């Protein structure tokens, strides 16, 4: 699974998300910025992101994903 594929999947799965990726297709990190995360705890945000790629993790296509899920205000 490529970084572009992961990015596209996350952008499709989270409303109004801006996604940046680093790493390789097996072990990577992401910063996901979306207003959808307003009022959510960090744990809930991470679970939301992981749910989108859970199938890829379970299949072994994606080995590890480090997640930073932020609101636009937290990035500014």
Q: Which CATH number characterizes residue 67's domain?
A: 3.30.300.90
The pLDDT value given to residue 33: 98
Res. 67: pLDDT tops 70: yes
The pLDDT value given to residue 11: 97
pLDDT tens by residue, 10-48: 999 999 999 999 997 677 999 999 999 999 999 999 999
**Number of structural domains found in the chain:** 1
The pLDDT value given to residue 64: 87
Terminal-to-terminal C-alpha distance of the chain: 31
Q: Which of 54, 57, 11 is nearest to 30 (CA)?
A: 11
The pLDDT value given to residue 3: 92
Torsion angle, alpha carbons of 30, 36, 41, 43, to 10: -40
- Give the domain range for residue 14: 3-75
Residue 12, burial from CB neighbour count under 10 angstroms (0-12, 13-18, 19+)? exposed
């Amino acid at each position: 699974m490529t970084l572009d594929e992961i990015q596209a999947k996350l952008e499709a799965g989270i409303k109004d998300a801006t996604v940046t990726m680093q790493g390789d297709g097996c072990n990577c990190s992401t910063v996901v910025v979306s207003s959808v995360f307003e009022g959510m705890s960090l744990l809930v945000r991470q679970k939301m992101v992981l749910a989108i790629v859970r199938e890829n993790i379970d299949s072994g296509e994606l080995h590890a994903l480090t997640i930073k899920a932020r609101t636009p205000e937290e990035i500014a």
